[in-house]
A and B are shown apart, each in its own frame.
Chain A
């Protein structure tokens, strides 16, 4: 059974700091991995999508890497800002034994960037 773990569960940093969020998964048979941002009580906003054949993706100040063989992904945020404060979720997309598909989510890292 695929399990996704995110460490740390919470992180507080001063504005301007570079930071790394970690995601690990137990089964490397995935289609892709997606990083989402969730503001309190709100929906999920997709940040980056990394295909299983890719090593990294970049969007602005965000860079996500994927090492499928070791079951690890990282989300790097450069020059953090208070507006980056949110919960960050990673999710792996896989095919189940029954042939359907699903996303398996980690429980998230709650990031607070202090002015």
Chain B
């Protein structure tokens, strides 16, 4: 089954404790992105990758890091989480826009930072 898999689904952590949210896709997509969803603000792009070793900042990249060492994986790293990073996070993948691709989203990771 074609899918984007995120782990964990739920995570509660303390301020300052480094964490990684994993994302993997099995569709051989070139493009992968991370979004966060907050009440009243909607979905906003955090980081974006067009291919292996190619990443770019989105609208809200502060406090996050990403890496794209393999085509299928795109982990999101919070080096020193803070309470304002409490949110619902989504990973997504797609073929390039020129090939008329649509995005496939993962099931989400609900992160709480206390």
Contacts and interface: CB of A to CB of B under 8 A. Distances in A.
Nearest to B55: A100
B50 interface: yes
Interface residues of B, number: 27
A31 B105 contact: no
Interface stretch (A16-24, A39-47, A62-70, A73-81): A39-47
Nearest to A54: B100
A13 to B, nearest CB: 23
- Where chain B touches its partner, the secondary structure class is strand
Interface string B87-114: 0101010001110101111111010000
Interface residues of A, number: 26
A-side interface mostly: strand
Contacts of B110: 41
Interface of B: 31, 33, 35, 40, 42-43, 45, 48, 50, 56, 58-59, 88, 90, 92, 96-98, 100, 102-108, 110
